[in-house]
């Protein structure tokens, strides 16, 4: 009896936090056909133009973009991949982190479009967090890009600023993004006990839908480290922004007012410096905007889509 009561109390507190969390209340699994396209697992919905590709963040999967975003497949074609090395696109443990740098991600996304027969269609690219940075860099290479939307984009000026910003998120964030042995040890443990680790993650994060929390562990050390180092910590996005501006492709930077991942004021400064960049803020939103405020994110995507010119 003495052990049962605390366990019931903990379970009850978790359930209350879970069921009241905005991300849990507002998320439902997306629909559409789930296929393999090149090296990536992809969810596809709709057949029209433009093609809208949604890219998830680090240690996540395409399931992050739930059913609210399915509306983008009504008049266009919605494509939601699990990025290379993550989710259902995860590869066996081992390998070199360099195999999951920006070039590898871009090549996988190019192969995805080619496999789906969408490479010559008007394209709108949106991403969250790491997916936002990757989306900017990928979009700048594609002549069919019509607009880019970046949610909670960590556009750091250099690796030093990136690490300082990430250290400011707390001890755990500093550990898992640092150069010490902790991230590798954690990833090795998760690879060995992945199913158990997925439930531990769900237990530790009642604010997340259970499928989203469990997907956090569906990667390897190589995919995590390579993506962190060459996508988030690198500064290759700056040249990509210049190329998008020269091509006249609009970029919308959308972030939450309480989000500590992006550098405060950076999006506004980029918008002030370039006519092709617009910045907007959800005043009460945090980092998980597509989960906690999907209707607002959908509105930003629609805002971008209104300026997309389609071929006759």
Burial class (CB in 10 A: 0-12, 13-18, 19+), 71: middle
Predicted local distance difference test score (pLDDT) of residue 310: 61
Q: What confidence score (pLDDT) does residue 12 get?
A: 84
DSSP 287: S
- Residue 160's pLDDT is 86
Q: Which of 305, 312, 243 is nearest to 276 (CA)?
A: 243
Per domain, the residue ranges of the chain are 4-305
pLDDT for residue 2: 52
Q: What letter would DSSP give residue 158?
A: S
pTM for this prediction: 0.94
pLDDT in 10s for each residue of the chain, 312 residues: 455 756 567 688 889 999 999 999 999 999 999 999 999 999 999 999 999 999 999 989 999 999 999 999 999 999 999 999 999 999 888 789 999 999 999 999 999 999 999 999 999 999 999 999 999 999 999 999 999 999 999 999 988 888 888 877 765 565 566 666 777 787 788 888 999 999 999 999 999 999 999 999 999 989 999 999 999 999 889 999 999 999 999 999 999 999 999 999 999 999 999 999 999 999 999 999 999 999 999 999 999 998 776 654
| 3-class DSSP state of 185 | helix
> What superfamily does domain 4-305 belong to in CATH?
Alpha/Beta hydrolase fold, catalytic domain (3.40.50.1820)
pLDDT at 168: 73
With left for phi above 0 and alpha for psi between -120 and 50, is residue 30 left, alpha or beta?
beta
- Residue 3 has a pLDDT of 57
The predicted pLDDT at position 175 comes to 54
């Amino acid at each position: 009896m003495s052990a049962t009561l605390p366990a019931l109390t903990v379970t009850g507190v978790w359930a209350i936090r879970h069921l009241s969390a905005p991300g849990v209340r507002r998320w439902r699994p997306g629909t559409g056909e789930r296929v393999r396209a090149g090296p990536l697992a992809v969810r596809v919905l709709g057949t029209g133009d433009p093609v809208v590709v949604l890219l998830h963040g680090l240690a996540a999967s395409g399931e992050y973009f739930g059913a609210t975003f399915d509306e983008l497949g009504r008049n266009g074609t919605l494509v939601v991949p699990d990025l290379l090395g993550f989710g259902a696109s995860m590869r066996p443990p081992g390998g070199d982190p360099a195999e999951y740098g920006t070039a590898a991600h871009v090549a996988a996304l190019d192969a995805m479009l080619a496999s789906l027969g969408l490479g010559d269609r008007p394209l709108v690219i949106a991403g969250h967090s790491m997916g936002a940075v990757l989306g900017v860099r990928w979009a700048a290479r594609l002549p069919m890009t019509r607009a880019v939307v970046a949610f909670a984009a960590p556009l750091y000026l250099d690796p030093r600023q990136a690490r300082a910003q990430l250290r400011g998120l707390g001890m755990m964030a500093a550990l898992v993004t640092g150069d010490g042995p902790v991230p590798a040890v954690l990833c090795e443990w998760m690879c060995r006990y992945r199913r158990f680790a997925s439930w531990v993650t769900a237990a530790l994060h009642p604010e997340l839908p259970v499928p989203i929390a469990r997907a956090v562990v569906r990667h390897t050390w190589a995919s995590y480290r390579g993506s962190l180092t060459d996508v988030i910590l690198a500064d290759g996005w700056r040249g990509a922004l210049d190329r998008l501006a020269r091509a006249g492709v609009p970029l919308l930077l959308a972030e939450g007012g309480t989000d500590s991942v992006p550098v405060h004021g950076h999006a506004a400064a980029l918008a002030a410096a370039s006519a092709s960049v617009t910045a907007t803020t959800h005043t009460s939103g945090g980092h998980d905007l597509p989960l906690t405020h999907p209707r607002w994110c959908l509105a930003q995507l629609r805002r971008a889509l209104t300026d997309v010119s389609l071929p006759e």
